[in-house]
Amino acid sequence: MNKTRQILVTAALPYANGPIHIGHLVEYIQTDIWVRFQKMRGHRCIYICADDTHGTAIMISARQQGVTEEEFISHIHREHQSDFSGFDIEFDNYGSTHSEENFALCSEFWTAIEKAGLVKEQDIEQLYDPEAKTFLADRFVTGTCPKCKSESQYGDNCDKCGGTYSARDLVNPRSTLSGTKPEIRTARHLFIELEQLHTFLDEWTQSGEHLQPEIANYLRGHFLGEPFRDWDISRPAPYFGFEIPDNPGHYWYVWFDAPIGYVASTLQWCKLHGENVDDWWRNKACEIHHFIGKDITYFHTLFWPGMLKTAGFCLPTKVHIHGFLTVDGEKMSKSRGTFVRAATYLKHLEPGYLRYYYATKLSAKVDDIDLNLDEFVSKINADLVGKVVNLASRSAKFVQQQGLSDTYPEDGGLFAHAAKEGDLIASAYELCDYSQAIRRIMALADGANPYVEQNRPWELSKDPSKLGQLQDVCTVALNLFRQIAIYLAPVLPRLAIQCEQLLGEPVTDWKQSQTPLTGSPVNPFKHMIHRIDKPKVQAMIDESRDDALETTSDNVSSDSGDALAAEPLAEEITIDDFAKVDLRVARVIAAESIPEARKLLKLTLSLGGAQQRTVFAGIKAAYQPEALVGRLVICVANLAPRKMKFGTSEGMVIASGPGNSEVFLLSPDEGAVPGQRVH
């Protein structure tokens, strides 16, 4: 038989800067299913996670709320834990990177990395905000692009011309924190020379064992072909994180201490359970599996193995990488209401629905998965309610008096066939190909319902002489149901419990699927899974949209300061300065998409009469050209024409928003006519 494995499983540490949403849940559910499966198989398996709590972003968020960082992250910690438990995600330990265990382990890693000669010091020039008293990461600086002179561009690159540069080169830079002009300061940073581990990482990533093939290819194409850049691992004070013991005033960069949090959280668990952390992290017999999203591939497949290797820990057995979630084919969006928080979902729907739906979509590939809301409803109603639960619901009440038959009846080989399928289903779970596992399980349900149909228990029940036959038929139906519930237990733990409540036997082990249950009582059937009403899904979407709107509505107290912070107020001007800008109402009379352009639409505007302007606007991602024709917009009519790649733009259409799909055109209230000036 298969021997007992020792398996350590982690999911990525969620950043303690906001609530969990349905996109995050893809990973935690995927991982939870895998862990529950391994536990049912009798393996020794623990599921480790923690909040990722350090870094500038959290420091800033805490400041904005006027609380200490510790208060801020502990609030989020509680929120995250309740979100996860609401979805039946069962961590063995959910820690925090802001823990004494993590500090101790970071020190241990650090000492080993220094001893290996991988650390070097270098002075770098960086922008400093004297008012906020902090160095500024690129995303906290805006200014005018040194290449194309576009205004309010972020630190390291320009979305207008695509140019890249250093934040120090920005013309007229501003700190997004205080709005003041940053000064250039020199600071000493510590770097890890990852290049020294290049040969090792070539071998480890390309061995074919630890990574999905497309990931190995990606690394080969992007990073392995040239020397690795040094990794800037320290941040000068002030920084919310751990101060580096032998470098006072310097802190480990959040991405240094975050993965070590996996080990630290394991250590916490070990302390609680009288175990030794080395038995998990320095034991070749222990498998280590990381589940992550594709966005953090780089850290987990290059830096992290390098760190583990250098510090003498075991390397991951496998890094399982998944894609992103889209909703109805599009990126999750706050304005569309598809950016659904875990807590909002739970107000409207059962967690099992989402667990099951994700399971039907997940494979071992890195592909994005789509949450199609119509399909979501029909899958739950058709598969779970119509096929699976229906087996119990249509047979249990006939045998409440007698219970199950004492010997398992002849069933035409259905149970034996489904038992045999158990191996294939198990190997699909093992390989993270849940969609295949579910397909196989549903095929069993598709085989079971016709059995009930052919044997007509509802007719047998009317004839007292056929009581034994009735009991047999229901014994088969309930056993087929139980078998399916066992196979689905990693995905639907609540269904397994309901199965126990009905048949009196706890579902704990995969092997239970191989032997039918006989001679035991049957309890009254209770509803197990309610059908989904589409309106409930819609209500969830509506509430999510409302949540998002609240932050931009007239409810001043709940408006976030993010937008203003991202683009601080400009210098004061006089009324005369303003009068120089001639804003006019204009009607869009033609709008065409330029195939080669990623952002631009070509608009033809009418200012009334024969006055027309051709204007290129960077709104392609946000508006369909057809939808614009006929509407009124506000245009800067006296802006100097500008030659662009696809023609000359004779003006500018006024819009707000950060860019891409988040662009909002301004339009006048009803009654305005083209040509009117805006005063």
Partner RNA sequence: GGCGGCGUAGCUCAGUUGGUUAGAGCAGCGGAAUCAUAAUCCGCGUGUCAGGGGUUCGAGUCCCUUCGCCGCUACCA
Strands (E), 301-434: 318-322, 325-327, 330-331, 369-371
**Rounded distance between C-alpha atoms, residue 95 and residue 90, angstroms:** 13
Rounded to a whole number of angstroms, the minimum distance from the CB of residue 386 to RNA is 2
Using the minimum distance from each CB to RNA, give the nearer residue, 119 or 224: 224
Rounded to a whole number of angstroms, the minimum distance from the CB of residue 390 to RNA is 4
Matching residue, tokens 């994700």: 358
Contacts of 333 (CB under 8 A, 6+ apart): 327, 339, 661
Question: Should residue 351 be labelled a site residue for RNA when binding is judged by CB under 7 A?
Answer: no
Question: Should residue 159 be labelled a site residue for RNA when binding is judged by CB under 7 A?
Answer: no
Question: Should residue 370 be labelled a site residue for RNA when binding is judged by CB under 7 A?
Answer: yes
Give, for 45, the enclosing helix (H) or strand (E): strand 44-51
Own/partner contacts of 243-246, CB < 8 Å, gap of 24 or more, are 244/110, 244/190, 245/107, 245/110, 246/114
Matching residue, tokens 């992007």: 222
Using the minimum distance from each CB to RNA, give the nearer residue, 367 or 547: 367
DSSP assignments along 542-603, one per residue: HHHHHHHHHTTSS-GGG--SHHHHHSPPPPP--HHHHHTS-EEEEEEEEEEE-TT-SS-EEE
Question: Should residue 417 be labelled a site residue for RNA when binding is judged by CB under 7 A?
Answer: no
Using the minimum distance from each CB to RNA, give the nearer residue, 442 or 489: 442
> ∠ CA 31-33-38 to the nearest 5 degrees?
95
Question: Should residue 662 be labelled a site residue for RNA when binding is judged by CB under 7 A?
Answer: no
Using the minimum distance from each CB to RNA, give the nearer residue, 282 or 466: 466
Using the minimum distance from each CB to RNA, give the nearer residue, 75 or 530: 530
Site string for RNA, 175-214 (x = CB under 7 A): ---------------------------------------x
Rounded to a whole number of angstroms, the minimum distance from the CB of residue 594 to RNA is 12
- Tell me the window of 45-53, 91-99, 307-315, 387-395 that interacts with RNA (CB under 7 A): 387-395
Residue choice 389, 418, 478, 517 for contact with RNA (CB under 7 A): 389
Question: Should residue 386 be labelled a site residue for RNA when binding is judged by CB under 7 A?
Answer: yes
How many residues at the interface with RNA, by CB under 7 A? 54
Strands (E), 594-646: 601-606, 612-617, 632-636, 642-644
Residue choice 331, 334, 494, 536 for contact with RNA (CB under 7 A): 331
Residue choice 104, 171, 382, 673 for contact with RNA (CB under 7 A): 382
Of 508, 517, 385, nearest in space to 37 by CA: 508
Residue choice 73, 399, 517, 528 for contact with RNA (CB under 7 A): 528
Question: Should residue 218 be labelled a site residue for RNA when binding is judged by CB under 7 A?
Answer: yes
DSSP assignments along 205-228, one per residue: HHSSSSS-HHHHHHHIIIIITSPP
- Tell me the window of 112-120, 301-309, 436-444, 631-639 that interacts with RNA (CB under 7 A): 436-444
Question: Should residue 363 be labelled a site residue for RNA when binding is judged by CB under 7 A?
Answer: yes
Own/partner contacts of 542-548, CB < 8 Å, gap of 24 or more, are 542/337, 543/337, 543/344, 543/347, 543/348, 544/334, 544/337, 544/338, 544/339, 544/340, 544/341, 544/344, 545/334, 545/335, 545/336, 545/337, 546/337, 547/341, 547/344, 548/334, 548/335, 548/337, 548/339
- Tell me the window of 125-133, 176-184, 365-373, 667-675 that interacts with RNA (CB under 7 A): 365-373
Using the minimum distance from each CB to RNA, give the nearer residue, 577 or 626: 626
Rounded to a whole number of angstroms, the minimum distance from the CB of residue 455 to RNA is 10
Site string for RNA, 285-304 (x = CB under 7 A): ---------x----------
Rounded to a whole number of angstroms, the minimum distance from the CB of residue 644 to RNA is 15
**Rounded distance between C-alpha atoms, residue 41 and residue 487, angstroms:** 11
Contact between 267 and 103 under an 8 Å Cβ cutoff? The reply is: no
According to CB under 7 A, which residues from 444 to 503 bind RNA? 446, 449-450, 452-453, 457-458
Matching residue, tokens 């009068």: 579
**Rounded distance between C-alpha atoms, residue 373 and residue 328, angstroms:** 6
Rounded to a whole number of angstroms, the minimum distance from the CB of residue 360 to RNA is 8
> ∠ CA 22-25-27 to the nearest 5 degrees?
140
Rounded to a whole number of angstroms, the minimum distance from the CB of residue 292 to RNA is 14
Using the minimum distance from each CB to RNA, give the nearer residue, 211 or 308: 211
Q: What is the distance, to the nearest Å, from the Cα of residue 306 to the centroid of all Cα atoms in its chain?
A: 25
Residue choice 39, 290, 394, 587 for contact with RNA (CB under 7 A): 394
**List of residues contacting RNA (CB under 7 A):** 162, 164, 214, 217-218, 221-222, 225-226, 294, 329, 331, 361, 363, 365-370, 372, 375, 378-379, 381-383, 385-387, 389-390, 393-395, 397-398, 435-436, 439, 442-443, 446, 449-450, 452-453, 457-458, 527-531
